Amino acid sequence: MTRFWEDIETGVDYPLGEHTFGEEEMVRFAKRWDPQYFHTDPEAARSSHFGGLIASGWHTIVVGHRKLVDALHSEAERLKSLGAEPGLSGPSPGINYVHFEQPVRPGDTLTYAMVVTHKRPSRSLPGWGILFNQIQATNQHGARVYLSEVVGFTKMRHPTIAARVKLILARLSGRAGQPPRR
């Protein structure tokens, strides 16, 4: 899936598509994974400071993740249709941060987007690169509802070259820590 690490551009916005959160879907997700009253009970939620039902933040995140997986899949299909070899995504080592900035209410439509802010060869897995994916969702009023940074592994096309780059970088950073030569 996706592109090889070498072909992934940093600093470019990738649109991931939209999702409208219906009340029934919000309640179903929350009853299973996040059963707090302002996520599961529209009546009781009126007593909360939100004044009504809101989506579980984790629900908005996992829908965004699904959008990302679909986008990676579409990109792989596009490359294959051009006769090119698609890359391969690996498991994620983690999420550096998620900031929830606005509640998501029934009927809200979120627009998801991603930018790879930077990338580097993996230190632990030869042949794999690391991507820092900044993912955000914006509601229909243009307000950002969350901002996150998800780390991802992706396969390198030329791991030997990458390993050489790694070695050079390691030497450079080693030198940086030494006093200047006279």
Partner 1 sequence: MPNPVTKDRWHFEDLKVGQTFTLGPQRVTADEIKSFAAEFDPLPFHLDEEVAKASMLGGLAASGFHTAAMALRMLVDSMLSHTAAMGGLGFEKLAWRRPLMAGDELGGGATITGLRPSASDPHMGLVTIHLEMHNQSGQEVMVMTLTNIVEIRHPHPLVLGAAG
For position 124 contacting partner 1 by CB under 8 A, the verdict is no
Buried residues in 49-82 as b, exposed as e (16+ CB within 10 A): eeeebbbbbebbbebbbebbeebbeebbeebeee
For position 38 contacting partner 1 by CB under 8 A, the verdict is yes
For position 44 contacting partner 1 by CB under 8 A, the verdict is yes
Best CA proximity match to 7, nearest among 155, 108, 124: 155
What is d(CA 17, CA 70) in angstroms, rounded to the nearest whole number? 10
For position 63 contacting partner 1 by CB under 8 A, the verdict is yes
For position 127 contacting partner 1 by CB under 8 A, the verdict is no
For position 48 contacting partner 1 by CB under 8 A, the verdict is yes
What is d(CA 116, CA 125) in angstroms, rounded to the nearest whole number? 20
3-state helix, strand, coil in the chain (%, to 5): 35, 30, 35
CB of 92 to partner 1, least distance (A): 6
For position 92 contacting partner 1 by CB under 8 A, the verdict is yes
Q: Which stretch binds partner 1 (CB under 8 A): 8-16, 51-59, 77-85, 134-142?
A: 51-59
By CB under 8 A, name the one of 4, 19, 153, 156 that touches partner 1. Answer: 153
By CB under 8 A, name the one of 146, 154, 156, 162 that touches partner 1. Answer: 146
For position 96 contacting partner 1 by CB under 8 A, the verdict is yes
For position 69 contacting partner 1 by CB under 8 A, the verdict is yes
Best CA proximity match to 146, nearest among 54, 61, 70, 66: 61
Count of residues near partner 1 by CB under 8 A: 39
Q: Using an 8 Å Cβ cutoff, are 86 and 75 in contact? A: yes
Q: Using an 8 Å Cβ cutoff, are 92 and 64 in contact? A: no
For position 36 contacting partner 1 by CB under 8 A, the verdict is yes
CB of 158 to partner 1, least distance (A): 19
For position 61 contacting partner 1 by CB under 8 A, the verdict is yes
Residues forming contacts to partner 1 in the complex (CB under 8 A) are: 1, 32-38, 44, 47-50, 54, 57-58, 61-63, 65-66, 69, 73, 89-100, 103, 125, 146, 153
